[in-house]
């Protein structure tokens, strides 16, 4: 089985993390902020899996499993908060003034 080089996997994880960070810094919509945080979590998970594959240890995959459960919890709580905020303020713009 051929594996990807460590540098390529970490480079991809870095690019994904940078795109997620850019989304957090640039976007003002709460849903896009949640998507950007998910991309950053997946980038960190990819780095764990690539590093674990490099040293042939299952630790990276175990950490990624825990990160997936964290992401699922974050999505459920985040979407519940988004629905509540939209119901209260009628907007999802972070910069919108509160009424």
Model confidence pLDDT, tens digit, residues 35-94:
999 999 999 999 999 999 988 899 999 999 999 999 999 899 989 988 998 898 888 887
Cβ-proximal residues to 21 (8 Å cutoff; 6+ apart), any chain? 36, 40
Nearest to 46 by CA among 11, 22, 1, 2: 11
Q: Is the pLDDT of residue 1 over 60?
A: no
How high is the pLDDT of residue 90? 85
CB atoms near residue 22 (< 10 Å): 12
Q: 2: alpha, beta or left, given left = phi > 0 and alpha = psi -120 to 50? A: beta
| Residue 53 near residue 3, CB atoms below 8 Å | yes
- pLDDT band at 99, cuts 50/70/90? low
pTM for the full predicted model: 0.85
């Amino acid at each position: 089985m051929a594996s990807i080089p460590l540098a390529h996997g970490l480079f991809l994880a870095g690019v994904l993390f940078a795109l997620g960070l850019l989304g957090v810094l640039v976007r003002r919509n709460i849903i896009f902020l949640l998507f950007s945080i998910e991309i950053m979590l997946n980038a960190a998970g990819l780095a764990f899996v690539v590093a674990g594959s490099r040293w042939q240890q299952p630790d990276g995959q175990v950490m990624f499993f825990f990160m997936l459960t964290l992401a699922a919890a974050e999505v459920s709580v985040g979407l519940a908060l988004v629905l509540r905020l939209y119901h209260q303020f009628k907007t999802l713009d972070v910069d919108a003034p509160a009424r």
